[in-house]
Every structure is written in structure tokens, then in C-alpha cells.
Amino acid sequence: MICDNLKTIYRQIEEAAVRAGRDPQSVRLVAVSKRQGLERILEALDCGQELFGENYLQEAREKIEQLGDRGRFHFIGHLQSNKARQAAELFTMVETVDRLKIARALDRHAKALGRSLDILLQVNVGREPQKAGVLPENLEELARDVATLPSLRLRGLMTMPPYTTDPEESRPFFRSLCQLARELRDKDLFADNSRVELSMGMSRDFPVAIEEGATLVRVGTAIFGPRP
């Protein structure tokens, strides 16, 4: 079932990219495996899916340790600075950096581990008070500060627009994120300004996100089914 779902999603990714005149290879699928058992991740790995997203540190640690060197993981949950060491150790990318304190903690631990860590800045484009993410007007300052941290590589931006059942309602928020990324790129603030990552779109709205420029889509339910 997971293999069939993955096939369907890769086809939808390709169709959305083609509609937007984009190279389908420029979009990567992050299979969001939070609260799904290890056996489902193994099933997805056997179908060729390599990249996963996890939200909870302890749960992710257990899975990643059991998988050995199989699979790569992005952290997409809310991060506290006392968990930064674990995050720097376990993940190839942290997508949810939204304040300098967290960035500094990740930088320090990445350095101690002798690695550099890819990060995204999470932006609260919908300005929802209960949601994580830096507000658009504070983004540039955060990006400038983060760009000076030697063991972090600022790869791009991430967002989670307000909940809606109509994917078209997410479109303006995806468009805003893309515009914000363009502004930072024009100011040379990313580690690689020729390849800026935009993480946006989930099960409900990833085709729209791809039409608006997503390079990473985070899809859980549509691959693994409802979370237990």
C-alpha cells in the first residue's frame, strides 16, 4: 500500500512540476513518518523512499538508531534549545529554525560534532499567533544573524500556512514564501543562492505548493495513512 501511495505521489509531483514548467527532479519528497511505526518506514525504504521527516526528538532517535545508516531524516517539529545537540546529531536538515537562540545552539553542537548542518528558517506567513515561525518582517534580520554562524548552512525557507480544506487557499501563502526567499537570495543570504530550498506543501496541498515553487514537500497521511 505504501509503495502504491508513493508511486501516486511521485506521479502527482511530476504532473504539478510539468504544469508549472519546472523540472520534476527539482522537487524532493519528505515522507513524514511521525507517529508511524518503524515497519512503515522500512516498507517505504524498500520502495526506494530515502528521505523522511520527523517531529519528535525521542521518537526520531529510536527510529534512526534502529535503522543504522538507512534513510535520511529532516527535523520538522518544534525545537527547544535543550534538544539542539540531539537534533544536530540525528538530522541531515533542521527545517524549523525560527529564532537566533536555537540557531546558535545548533551551530555550537554541529561544530562540536565536527559537521555542518543544513537548516531552513520557518516563516509564519499566515501570522497565526499559536504557530511557530519568524514573522516576515523579522526574517531578514534573523537570516543575517544565522548566515554568520560557521557550522550552519542556511539553505532556504519553510512554512506551514493556516489550516484549510481548500488547497487553493494555501496558494497566496506559498507565493509569499517564494517572494521572501527571492528577496533574501537577492541579498545573497543563503549558503547557495543558485539553489534555494522552499519547503512547503503537505498531503492536502503539495501540488499547489509545487506550482508555486516548492523544492521540498512534506507528505505524511497520503503516504502512510492516518496517524495512530
Ligand X SMILES: *Cc1c(COP(=O)(O)O)cnc(C)c1O
List of residues contacting ligand X (CB under 6 A): 32, 34, 55, 76, 160, 202-203, 218-222
Nearest-CB residue for ligand X: 220
Q: What are phi and psi of 198, to 5 degrees?
A: -125, 105
Taking the complex as a whole, the smallest distance from the CB of residue 33 to ligand X amounts, in Å, to: 10
Closer to ligand X by Cβ: residue 146 or 202: 202
Question: Judged by CB, which is closer to ligand X: 108, or 131?
Answer: 131
Kindly list the distances between the CA atom of residue 227 and the CA atoms of 35, 41, 58, 213, in Å, as whole numbers in the listed order.
6, 13, 17, 28
CB of 138 to ligand X, least distance (A): 20
Minimum distance, C-beta of residue 95 to ligand X, in the bound complex (Å) = 7
Instruction: State the Cα angle at 16 between 13 and 22, rounded to 5°.
Output: 95
Residue 185 one-letter amino acid: R
Q: Which is nearer to ligand X, 96 or 142 (CB)?
A: 96
User: Is the Cβ of residue 15 or residue 23 nearer to ligand X in the bound state?
Assistant: 15
Smallest distance, ligand X to C-beta of residue 219, A: 5
For the chain, where are the E strands, in sequence order?
28-32, 51-54, 72-75, 93-97, 117-123, 152-159, 197-199, 216-219
